[in-house]
Structure formats: structure tokens, C-alpha cells
Structure 1
Amino acid sequence: MSTPRATPVIDQQLTAAPLVPWQLVVWDDPVNLMSYVARIFRTYFGYPKEKAERLMLAVHNEGHAIVATGPRETMEMHAQAMHGFGLWATVRRADQ
């Protein structure tokens, strides 16, 4: 008795999904001081004082700021870190 042979599919085209950047969004909250938020941006992300303060003011005045952009896993890691510092943060696709 012979074993049936599988016919390989050669015409099938495999393409990788494009790498879509993700954004870390930090939201305004009624608890944290503005100086604390700026300090977290400086110490965690290593941003210069001017950039940290500009982002902190965007969080305060506009209600949120995009603090970082990159791969989804990295942004999720940053969001967890922000939660650990007591900040409200979410991750979203950059094309939204």
C-alpha cells in the first residue's frame, strides 16, 4: 500500500505585516504634580529638561501627550512603567 503524497503549494505568497508604530499616551490626572510628571519624563525616558517640561505642559493643558513612539511591546512596557509611577497612560496605534 502506498502513502499519499502531499502536493506542495508553491504559488502562495507570504508577506510580512508592515511594522506600524505605536504611541504611548500619558493623560492628565488630578493627583500628580506637574513637577513630578516632568521628573518622571526626565528620569525614565532620559529627556532633556525642556522636552520633559514641554510634554508635561501638553499633558496638563491639552489633557494628554504622546510621550513615545515605537514597537507595540516597547510602548506597552513603558505604559506599565508609567502606571508604576502613578501616571495614567495608554497605548494606541500611531495611525489612529
Structure 2
Amino acid sequence: MTDVLERTELDEQTARLLEGSWRAIVWDDPVNLMTYVTYVFQSYFGFPRDEAERLMLLVHHEGRAVVAEGNREAMERHVQAMHGYGLQATVSKVGL
């Protein structure tokens, strides 16, 4: 009986760890203006202007920026929203 309880606890812990182990990444592209990317980050994610500009500059200078972390479903929704704004974005597992 203890073995089953321990396994259940481990399964629940693993599920909780995996739940928050995904990222939404926005990639640089030659189309969108920096001001537009900043606007998207502010309007969709609710970032303050300074944070939205910092993330936009990461996209511009480093080619990408992690804009959110959390469970996979939420990150997929964020990526779909970024696509709706015309931005290139992907979901990636943390640590890869």
C-alpha cells in the first residue's frame, strides 16, 4: 500500500514540475517594426513599456526572446496569439 501511495505522490510531483516547463519564444523577422513588437508585448501580455522594449530588443539583437513560461497549453495559446499578430513564435520545452 505504501508503494502505491509513494508512486502516486511522485506522479503528482512530476506532473506539477512538467506543467510549468514550457516557454513561448518570439523570433526576429524582417517584416515587423520594433515599435509594433513592443505594442504587441504591451497589449497582449500586459508588460509595462520598459519590459516590452527590453524583450523587443532581445528579439532584435539576439534573434529571439522568451516572453512567457508555464504549462504547455498556455504557451501554445500565447504562440497562436503571436501568430495572429503576425509575429513568428514557437513553444519550447525548458532546458532544451
**Which TM bucket (shorter chain)?**
0.7 to 0.9
Displacement of 1:52: 0.1
- Paired residue for 1:51? 51
Q: Which blocks of at least 5 consecutive residues in structure 2 are unaligned?
A: none
TM-score, length of structure 1 as denominator length: 0.84
Larger helix fraction of residues: 2
2: distance between equivalents of 1:70 and 1:94? Answer: 9
2: distance between equivalents of 1:80 and 1:59? Answer: 18
Displacement of 1:23: 0.5
Map residues 1-96 of structure 1 onto 2, 5 A cutoff: 12=4, 13-14=7-8, 15-16=11-12, 17-18=14-15, 19-20=17-18, 21-96=21-96
The count of residues paired between Structure 1 and Structure 2 equals 87
Displacement of 1:90: 0.2
2: distance between equivalents of 1:31 and 1:95? Answer: 29
TM-score, length of structure 2 as denominator length: 0.84
Superposition misfits of 4+ residues, deviation over 4 angstroms: none
- Paired residue for 1:4? none
Per-residue displacement from partner, 1:60-86 (whole Å, max 9, x unpaired)? 000000011111000000000000000
Displacement of 1:95: 2.0
Cα RMSD, aligned residues only: 1.3
Q: Which blocks of at least 5 consecutive residues in structure 1 are unaligned?
A: 1-9
